[in-house]
Amino acid sequence: MTGHDHTHSHHDHDHHDDRWKHDGVRVIPGNQLDTNVPSTAGMDRAAAINFARVGAQKLWAGTVSIKPDAKTGAHHHGHLESVIYVVKGKARMRWGESLQFTAEAGPGDFIFVPPYVPHQEINASRDEVLECVLVRSDGEAVAINLDIEPIEKPETVLWIDPVHRDPNEEK
C-alpha cells in the first residue's frame, strides 16, 4: 500500500452541482399558492405547479375547494387527463353524455378523468367544504363548458375489479 490519500474531496464537483441549485427540486409552500386562476362560482382554485411558477412543461397541479352543496356545470377538459385527490369532504362525480353515471369519493381517494369525458364535480356534503388536490397532464387550462340536460336519477357506477366486489352480487 502506498501512502496516497484516496479520499477525494468534493470541492472539484461544486461547479457542476450549481446548475441544479435553482433549476432542481422546488418546494411550493401550501400558503404560497397562486389563486389567480380561472374559478367557478362556489369553487376556489389555486395553482401550485405550472409553467409560470416553476417551469413545468407537461403538468398543472393545484388545489380546489368546493363550498358545501356547490357543483360545477357540465364540462370536459379537452385532451387533458386529470387526477383529483380528495383531501377532505365528500366528492360526487357525474359523467356521461347526459351525466347519467355517478360515483362518490372521500378522503384518501383518487379520481381519474380521461380526456373529453363530459363530467360535473359536486360537493356531496351540505355542511363540509370539499378540499381536493388536482393534477392535469398539461400546463394549459382547458375547460369546455357543455350544455347538457342532466338525467335526474343518475346510475351509480361501482368500481369493480378483483379487489372491489359488487356488494349486490351473490357471494
pLDDT for the residue 28: 87
**What pLDDT score was predicted for residue 5?**
55
> Could you tell me which of 29, 92, 25, 82 has the C-alpha nearest to residue 54?
25
Give me the residue spans of the domains in the chain.
Answer: 35-156
Q: Which CATH number fits domain 35-156: 1.10.8.60, 2.60.120.10, 2.30.29.30, 3.10.20.30?
A: 2.60.120.10
Q: What is the pLDDT of residue 124?
A: 95
pTM: 0.75
Q: Are 113 and 88 in contact (CB under 8 A)?
A: no
Intervals of the chain under pLDDT 50: 171
Q: What is the rounded distance in angstroms from the CA atom of residue 136 to the CA atom of residue 7?
A: 46
Q: What is the pLDDT of residues 67-98, one digit of tens each?
A: 998 888 888 999 999 999 999 999 999 999 99
